[in-house]
Chains A and B, each alone.
Chain A
């Protein structure tokens, strides 16, 4: 099992550009999450999907959109990137929603110039 995979691993964007971060899990988990981690800081929840077909805002949703494409895949889109969105983005999944054990991907390091 690959667990949680994320693409790309690194990305540099110019201000105003758009991009989509991809996440996939092969553990048949129902719930998926997107977090951001700024340098020296803890993780902050952006969006989550408790189950296929549902999404909900987390702590810092502004500037982002998500799509739960199917049970395996959960994408995060930046429509108009800003320097404040420079961060490391982690995707995670868990068997069910709530504070069950979450499995994290390796992260995407995004720099917006």
Chain B
């Protein structure tokens, strides 16, 4: 299973772009990279998913280098409501035919006014 490593916490100011990097050195060929956002006392919410290169949706971009050993979630122009914990999730179909997932430790993002 690919373990992930993320910064424990980050601070940013409103209107800034925030980049959160996740390290996953042992990522397997079948593994996808997914990012979730979690507010206190709520279940996580899907942000974005990718396999390689760059993926962009209406809320974020995901950059994955060619070796796929890391990924960077980019949040453009953050606001106070983006204060949350962000999880990097790596997983996919294991050789046993079952699905395996590992959530990272999460990055606690605090957006300041």
Contacts and interface: CB of A to CB of B under 8 A. Distances in A.
Bind each other = yes
Contacts of A104: 42-45
Q: Which size class do B's interface residues fall under? A: 20 to 34
Interface of B: 1, 31-32, 34, 41-46, 49, 87, 89, 91-93, 98-106
Nearest to B104: A42
Nearest to B90: A99
Contacts of B49: 99-101
A107 B45 contact: no
Given A99-B34, A99-B89, A99-B92, A45 B101 contact: yes
Contacts of B89: 99
B8 to A, nearest CB: 10
A59 to B, nearest CB: 7
Contacts, number: 59
Contacts of B102: 59
Interface string A72-99: 0000000000000000001010000111
A42 B45 CA distance: 13
Q: How large is the interface on A (under 10, 10 to 19, 20 to 34, 35 or more residues)?
A: 20 to 34
Interface of A: 4, 35, 41-45, 48, 50, 56, 58-59, 90, 92, 97-107
Contacts of A4: 43
A2 B105 CA distance: 29
B24 to A, nearest CB: 13
